Structure 1
Amino acid sequence: MTIAIEAEGLTKHFSLKQGKGSGPWFRARGMRTVHAVDDVGFKVASGETLAIIGESGCGKSTVARLLLGLTEPTAGSITISGERRVQLVAQNPWSALNRRKTIGHALNQPLLIHRPDLDKDGREARVQELLDLTGLPSDFLLRYPADVSGGELQRVTIARALAAQPRVLVLDEPTASLDVSVKASLVNLLCDLRDDLGLTYLLITHEIDVARLLADQVLVMYLGHVVESGDADQVFDNPVHPYTRSLLDSVPVPDPRRRKELLPLAGEVPSAVDPPSGCRFRTRCPHVLPKCAETRPTARESGEGHLTACHLTAWSPS
């Protein structure tokens, strides 16, 4: 098994400058620290998908930015096998493209930068190949972003990302702005591209249904920490950490009888500027123990390759 991405002790803190005033954000002039990501580690095999899931503010998008090199880690490292060929597929395709330029222009620009070996004919052939890969007709080259649907435009952003022949794609909420039917076709496209091109995906999402379809491995994050990780089927079908269980139970279900059995999340996510001591989930956990406030739990095996960071050695809902 070839490892495509490996992160060790990945940490990112941001300094927050305060001003004068009253209230918790304005206690005094000075600097405070946002604990965006703390001691995150993972490995992704070539051709597989790692999904990072969690609520807004859990740190998953910061991990994506670190992988893309858009920000430098405070500590730790990310290693990508071979050349650092990583591209991004963003959540909002309308903001990812220049609305004043044609789709043909958007697909040509990466080739001018990353493929200087291609002449005009070579670039035209490569652009047509990208359209074929993403199921788009040739007449799209003369269209503008405003002339196509959201699902079609997201296919354009995928085609543009593939222009540089990446080995790794970072998918940042790639289906969040799409309706259900379009979402399904895009997920199928991503699965086909991964299999046909041997791509490795890092999927950032809050959509559990999309993660179930695409992910081989899952990383569950809460307030900068990894609370559970492992094989996707194990994590989704047999969640061990109380946060993972509550997160999955927060997904709407149509059966009213099933809704009575669920344990959805309650309360608000604490501030990353002043995170709770010990286990960061303890302020919302229905099974909190006194030691949860004292020490951060270390990850332990809940099954083969299934890790959980929780002081409860054999947690089960009650």
Structure 2
Amino acid sequence: MNAVTVEDLEKHYRIKSGRGEDRVVHAVDGVSFEVPEGRTLSIIGESGCGKSTIARMLVRLADPTGGRILIQGNDGVDRRAIQLVSQNPWSALNRRKSIRHALEQPLAVHGLHPGRAARAARVRELLELVGLTEEYLDRRPGGVSGGELQRVTVARALAVEPRVLVLDEPTASLDVSVKALLVNLLLDLKQRLGLSYVLITHEIDIARHLADDVAVMYLGRFVEKGPAEQVFSDPRHPYTRALLAAVPGLDREPGVPLTGEVPSAVSPPAGCRFHTRCPLAVDACSRTEPELRREEDGRLVACLRADELR
């Protein structure tokens, strides 16, 4: 069974223009993917491409305009089955309340581990899972480091025993050494608890360490999707190549870095949405929208010139 199945997911926002007319922002424009149980799918791309909008729809913080989301085959809203770990732990927790309160609250809301003793034992267990001791229980968020606080948000997400965690830029606010510790923790928890992850990140190095599969997103759509090792070692879409060209230390030939600005999601370019920035674009790219097509090696690529990039 798949932990997550997403079919033709869309999120469009209506906004008022300066003339008072309605305009549509195509934040997510028809994406589909599956996350098998026990695996991690990382969705990567530049800021504003729609990654975090997908995260919000997965945990029902935003309603899709179209498409369907199944969590373990269920299309109902089971808030215990999937939980979010957000980018900023300071904004995710109440700064006036203790860490004990942060961990007890989801247990109380869902009626789990009733009774003071049982709930206290579960809170201690959650702290132990993320490598923290009981001394943190009576601290407030302001008295805890960023890395420790992100561990608390992971513990809170695990409180209701979810099967899927959505990790929305979980390391973006942390320094390098603390990032490594959190990545190792997430790998350990995935194995120990049998979790599945949807990782949203613009940090390629984090995706390389955590992901089993990768979906590359540009302006609301996927342009390449496949096993992480395959995509990172031999990217087939010009956008993927450009993203990886900006990452130092990758063991592959350098590509052409990205130039220019991302077009507006209010009026995406006709044809291939990447053609306005693509160094390999030809006339047909501005007229024909490429389908996400399966290649011989099994990956999916949306590029009219994909055969030439092998």
TM tier, smaller: over 0.9
Q: Secondary structure of 2:54's match?
A: helix
What CA distance in whole angstroms lies between the structure 2 residues aligned with 1:284 and 1:131?
Answer: 47
Task: Give 1:311's aligned residue.
Answer: 304
Which residue is 2:240 aligned to?
244
When the two structures are aligned, how many residues end up with a matched partner? 305
- Per the TM alignment, residue 252 of structure 1 is displaced from its structure 2 partner at its CA by 3.2
Matches within 5 A, 1:162-177: 162-177=158-173
Determine which of 7, 20, 45 is the counterpart of 2:36: 45
1:284 aligns with 2:283: no
CA distance in 2, matches of 1:254, 1:300: 26
Tell me the SS of whatever aligns to 2:188: helix
2:33 maps to amino acid: F
Letter in 2 for 1:213: H
Letter in structure 2 aligned against 1:10:
L
**Alpha-carbon shift at residue 253 of structure 1 (Å):** 4.2
**SS of the residue 2:307 aligns to:** coil
Spell out, residue by residue over 1:192-249, the C-alpha distance to the aligned partner (whole angstroms, 9 max, x if none). 0000001110000000000000001101000001100010111111100000000111
Distance 1:114 1:213 in 2: 33
Quote the offset at 1:118 in angstroms: 1.8
Match of 1:293 in 2: 286
- What is the distance in 1 between the residues matched to 2:31 and 2:147? 33
Q: Which range moves more in the overlay, 113-122 or 194-203?
A: 113-122
| CA shift digits 1:3-55 (9 cap, x unpaired) | 1101111111100112xxxxxxx3x2210000001110000001110000000
2:128 aligned to 124, 128, 132, which one?
132
Q: Is the 8 A contact 1:3 1:43 kept in 2?
A: yes
Counterpart for residue 11 of structure 1: 10
> Aligned-pair distance for 1:184?
0.4
Deviation at 1:72, TM superposition (A): 1.2
Give the Cα separation in 2 of the matches to 1:73 and 1:150.
32
| Aligned equivalent of 1:105 | 101
Per the TM alignment, residue 301 of structure 1 is displaced from its structure 2 partner at its CA by 2.2
In the TM superposition, 1:248-287 aligns within 5 A as 248-253=244-249, 261-287=254-280
Per the alignment, residue 195 of structure 1 pairs with 191
TM-score using structure 1 length: 0.92
**Deviation of residue 294 (structure 1)?**
1.2
In structure 2, C-alpha distance between the alignment counterparts of 1:246 and 1:117, rounded to whole Å: 49
The answer on whether the counterparts of 1:17 and 1:31 sit within 8 Å (CA) in structure 2 is yes
Q: Give the aligned partner of residue 35 of structure 1.
A: 26
Tell me, in whole angstroms, the C-alpha distance in 1 between the residues paired with 2:158 and 2:294. Answer: 37
> Could you list the per-position Cα deviations for residues 155-200 of structure 1 after superposition, in whole angstroms to 9, with x for gaps in the alignment?
0000000001111101000001111111001000000000000111
SS at match of 1:314: helix
- When structure 1 is superposed on structure 2, of 293-302 and 181-190 the one drifting more is 293-302
| Pair 1:197–1:82, CA change in 2 (3 A) | farther
* Distance in 2 between residues matched to 1:313 and 1:212, nearest whole Å: 23
Give the aligned partner of residue 88 of structure 1.
84
1:116 offset after TM fit, Å?
A: 4.1
| TM-aligned CA deviation for residue 254 of structure 1 | 9.6
Q: Confirm or deny: 8 A CA contact 1:115 1:164 kept in the other structure.
A: no
Q: Secondary structure at the match of 2:308?
A: coil
CA distance in 2, matches of 1:136, 1:86: 23
C-alpha distance in structure 2 between counterparts of 1:78 and 1:200, whole Å: 15
- What is the aligned partner in structure 2 of residue 154 from structure 1? 150
Identity %: 60
Read off the aligned partner of 1:52 and give its amino acid letter. Answer: I
Report the equivalent of 1:23. Answer: none
Gaps of 5+ in 1: 19-25
* SS of match in other structure, 1:142: coil
Residue 95 of structure 1 and its aligned partner are, at CA, apart by 0.9
| Structure 1 residues 135-169: Cα deviation after superposition (integer angstroms, max 9, x where no partner) | 00111001111111100000000000000111110
Give a deviation string over 1:77-103, Cα, whole Å, max 9, x none: 111116631111010111111111111
4+ residue segments displaced more than 6 Å? none
